[in-house]
Structure 1
Amino acid sequence: MSGRAPEAADLRRLAHHPIVVALAAMLAAGVAGLALAAVAGAAPAATMTALWDGMFGTDYAIGASLNVAATLMLVAVGFTIAHRAGLVNVGGEGQICAGGIAATAIGTTLTDAPAAITLPAVLIGAAAAGWLWAAIAAYLRVARGTSEIITTLLLNFVGLALVLLVVHEPALLRQPVTSSETLPQSEPLTAAAQLPLLGIERSPATIALWIAVIAACGTAILLRHTALGTRLRAVGLNPDAAARLGVPVRRSRFLSLSAAGAFAGLAGGLLVATAPFVLAEGFSSGYGFSGLVVGLLARGSLAAVVAVSLVLGFLVSGGINLQLAANVPASTVSIVESLMIVFIAGAALWTRRTRKPAAPQPVSDTTEPAGAPR
C-alpha cells in the first residue's frame, strides 16, 4: 500500500500539469468540433482529411502554420507576463493593430536604409507602439483603478478602426490608386524591411518563429530566475502583502501590462513584415483572441505557451482549409477555441476542488482537558 500512494500522487500531479490539461482541453474541443462539422453536413473522414491537408499537406501549409504559431506565441507570452502580476490583457488585437501601423509607417518610409537598420527599426517601432497602446490601459488601472479587462477590450475596437482609417485615407498609408481594382491597403514594405525566410523549400515560413521562441525562453528565465519575476509573482499573489514588503506594486503592474502590449505589437510588426508585406484591413485576423486562448491554456507555463501555440497555429491553418475543402463554416474553429476556454476553466475548477486539504496537526499531550481550571 505504501508504494501505491506515491504513484497515485505522481499521477495526480501529472493530471494537473498545464501541458496535460491543455492537451486534454484541445482533445475535448476537437471532438466537439467534429460533431459540429457533422451537423453542418461534412463527413468525419472528409473533415479530418481536409484538416490534415490544411495543417501538414504541403510545405506551404506547414510554413503558414508556423507563421501563425509565432504570432500567437508572442501574444501569449505577453499575456503570461501580465497575468503573473494579477492582470488580464484581452487587448492583444488592438495592440497588434498599433504595432502593424507603426511597422508599416517605418517600413514604407526607410527606402534607402540597409536591412541591418530597417528591419530592426520596423520591429522595435512595432513593439514600442504596442507598449504605448497598452500603457493607456495600464495607466488607467494603476492611477484610476479602472478594470484593465474593460479598457483593453475597448481599445481593440479603436485599434481596428485606426487600421481602417490609415488604409483608406490617401494622406496616410494607403497606396496610390492606379485603377478601380486597387485594394484599400498600404504600399508594400521595402525589401530591407521584409523578414527573411527560414529556408524551407516552397514555404512562406520566416524567422518570426525563432523570434517568438527566443522571446518565450527569455521571458521564462526572467520570470523564474530574476528578482523582477519574483516581484511580479508576489504582486499577482497578494498585492497588499507585496506592498508591505516594499514591492512597487503600481509600477510593477504598469510595466507588466505595457510589456504585454509590446509583445503583441511586435507580433503585429511580424505580420506586416511577412508576405504579402502590406497593411490591409483584417490583417490581424483574430490573432489577439487566439493568443488569449493560448495564454489561458498554458496557465502560466512558458513551455506550454510554445507547445500550445504550435498546436493552435496548425489548427487555425487547418481550419481555413476546412472551409475550402469540406464546406465547414469558418466559425467552427472559433467555436472550438471558445470551447477550449470553457474546458480549461472547468479543469482549473476541478483542480482546486480535488486538491487535498492539509493534514490536521496532532494534538499535544500537554493539552489541558476540557473544563480544567485556568
Structure 2
Amino acid sequence: MSKVLKWFTRDSFILPIVAIIMGLILGGIVMLIGGYNPIEAYSALFTKVFGDMYNFGEAVREMTPLIMTGLAFAFAARAGLFNIGGEGQFLVGMTAATFVGVKFAGLPIYIHAPLALIAGAVFGGLWAAIAGYLKAARGVNEVISSIMLNWIGLYLANLIVRQFLLLKGENRSVDISDTASISLTWLSELMGNSRVHMGTLIALVMAVLFYIYMWKTKQGYEIRAVGYNPNAAEYAGMHVNRNIVKAMFISGMLAGLGGAFQVLGVFQYQTVMSGSPGTGFDGIAVALIGLNHPFGVLLGALLFGTLTYGSAGMSFAADVPPEIIRIVIGSIIFFIAAQGIVRWVLKPFYSKRKKEKVL
C-alpha cells in the first residue's frame, strides 16, 4: 500500500496531472475571452462522452488508434529516436490490411482476420525500418526521413487502392471480406451498438507487452541503454545500430497495427485520401502527455479521445468552436514540456512537504 501511495506522489504522476489542470484552466480563460461559458462548455463536453453508452463506446473507438500511434512514438523515444513517421506507418499498415482483407476473401475467419492484422503490423514495421536503417547505416536524421516517408506512404496507399482495390464508380476500395472484420457483436451491443471492436482489447494488451518488453527483458534494457547513451551502450558491447533498426521496426509495427484496426474494425473499406488523417501526429501528443510510458499513453489517449470526441457536444450544446479543444490540448502539451512552470506553481506545496519531513 505504501508503494502505491509513493507512486501517486511522484513527480512523474503529479506533473502531468497539474499540467492537464492548467491546460483546462487556460482553455477556460480563452473561452471567457471569446464570450463563452467554460463551465457550460466543459459540462457539455463530458456529457457528450459519458452521457450514454453509445457515445462512450464511440469515444473508446476514437481512443484506440491514438493508443497505438502513441505507443509507437513512445517506443521509439525510449531508444532515443524521434519517430515522426507514425502517420505514414499507420497508412501503410491500413493499406496492407485492406489488401489482405479484400484479396484473400474465402479464408476462414480465424485465419483471415489475424493474417490481415499481421500484414498491417509487418508492413508498418518495415516502413519505419527504412528510416531506422538510414539512421543506423548512413546517419540520416530520422525526423527528416520519417516525415518524408509520411507523404510517400500516403501516395503509395492511394496508388494501391486505385490500381488494385478500387470499387467501380467510387473513390474507395471494395468492402473487405466479413471474415477479415475484427468487429465484436457482443462488445458493440454492450457499448450501446457503437463501433467498438477487438482492436481496443488488443491495444490494451500491447501496452502491457510494451511495459514487459521494455522493463523486464534484456532486449528492452539494451534499447533503453541505447536511448540514454549510445556511446556507453556500444562500449558495453551492445549493437547500437541493430537496436536502432529494431526499435524503429517495432515502433512501426504498433502504428501499422493501429491502421489495421481502423480499416478492419471501423470503416470496412479504404478511401482514396486527399490528405493524411492526422492520427500519427496526434499519437505524438498522446505519448508526450503520457511521458513516453505505456500506461501513461493509455491515460493520454483517454484524455485526448475524450476531449476530441466530446468537442462535438461542446460545439452543439454550448456553441463553442471545436478548435478551442485544440488550444486546450496544445496548452496541456506546452505545460508538460515546460515543466519548470508547473514546478513553480507547485513550489509552495513542495516547500510545505519538506518542512513536514523535517518536523
TM-score interval (norm. to shorter): 0.7 to 0.9
* Residues 130-158 of structure 1: per-residue CA shift (max 9 Å, x gap): 11111111111111111111221222222
Mark the CA change 1:188 to 1:42 in structure 2 (over 3 Å): closer, same or farther.
farther
Task: Please point out which of 207, 213, 221 is paired with 2:198.
Answer: 207
Deviation at 1:267, TM superposition (A): 0.1
State the Cα RMSD in Å.
2.6
Equivalent residues in 2 for 1:144-163, closer than 5 Å: 144-163=138-157
**Distance in 1, Cα, partners of 2:25 & 2:203:** 29
Equivalent residues in 2 for 1:1-374, closer than 5 Å: 14-17=9-12, 19-167=13-161, 169=162, 171-177=163-169, 182=170, 184-197=171-184, 198-199=187-188, 200=190, 201-280=192-271, 281=273, 285-347=277-339
SS of equivalent to 1:20: helix
SS of equivalent to 2:103: coil
Mark the CA change 1:153 to 1:283 in structure 2 (over 3 Å): closer, same or farther.
closer
- Letter matched to residue 212 of structure 1: A
Kept after mapping to 2: 8 A contact 1:22/1:308: no
**What is the aligned partner in structure 2 of residue 359 from structure 1?**
none
Mark the CA change 1:282 to 1:92 in structure 2 (over 3 Å): closer, same or farther.
farther
Kept after mapping to 1: 8 A contact 2:285/2:333: yes
Of 316-325 and 217-226, deviating more is: 316-325
SS of equivalent to 1:300: coil
- Letter matched to residue 173 of structure 2: S
SS of equivalent to 1:273: helix
Kept after mapping to 1: 8 A contact 2:76/2:248: yes
SS of equivalent to 1:132: helix
**Distance in 2, Cα, partners of 1:255 & 1:349:** 36
**Distance in 2, Cα, partners of 1:206 & 1:51:** 24
Deviation at 1:330, TM superposition (A): 3.4
**Distance in 2, Cα, partners of 1:321 & 1:284:** 25
**Distance in 2, Cα, partners of 1:235 & 1:325:** 50
**Distance in 1, Cα, partners of 2:172 & 2:322:** 24
Larger Rg: 1 or 2?
Answer: 1
Deviation at 1:325, TM superposition (A): 4.0
Of 317-326 and 218-227, deviating more is: 317-326
**Distance in 1, Cα, partners of 2:72 & 2:8:** 27
Q: Percent identity?
A: 31
Kept after mapping to 2: 8 A contact 1:64/1:204: yes
**What is the aligned partner in structure 2 of residue 7 from structure 1?**
none
**Distance in 1, Cα, partners of 2:239 & 2:246:** 11
**Distance in 1, Cα, partners of 2:152 & 2:259:** 15
- Letter matched to residue 343 of structure 1: F
- Letter matched to residue 206 of structure 1: H
Of 296-305 and 38-47, deviating more is: 38-47
* Residues 203-233 of structure 1: per-residue CA shift (max 9 Å, x gap): 2211211101100101101111110111112
Kept after mapping to 2: 8 A contact 1:268/1:284: no
**Distance in 2, Cα, partners of 1:62 & 1:309:** 14
- Letter matched to residue 189 of structure 1: I
**Distance in 1, Cα, partners of 2:17 & 2:34:** 25
- Letter matched to residue 286 of structure 1: G
SS of equivalent to 2:83: coil
Runs (5+) with no aligned partner, structure 2: 351-359
Kept after mapping to 2: 8 A contact 1:290/1:337: no
TM-score (norm 1): 0.83
* Residues 227-254 of structure 1: per-residue CA shift (max 9 Å, x gap): 0111112111111111011100000011
Of 289-298 and 198-207, deviating more is: 198-207
**Distance in 1, Cα, partners of 2:277 & 2:317:** 20
Deviation at 1:55, TM superposition (A): 1.4
Kept after mapping to 1: 8 A contact 2:44/2:318: yes
Mark the CA change 1:325 to 1:109 in structure 2 (over 3 Å): closer, same or farther.
farther
TM-score (norm 2): 0.86
Kept after mapping to 2: 8 A contact 1:103/1:269: yes
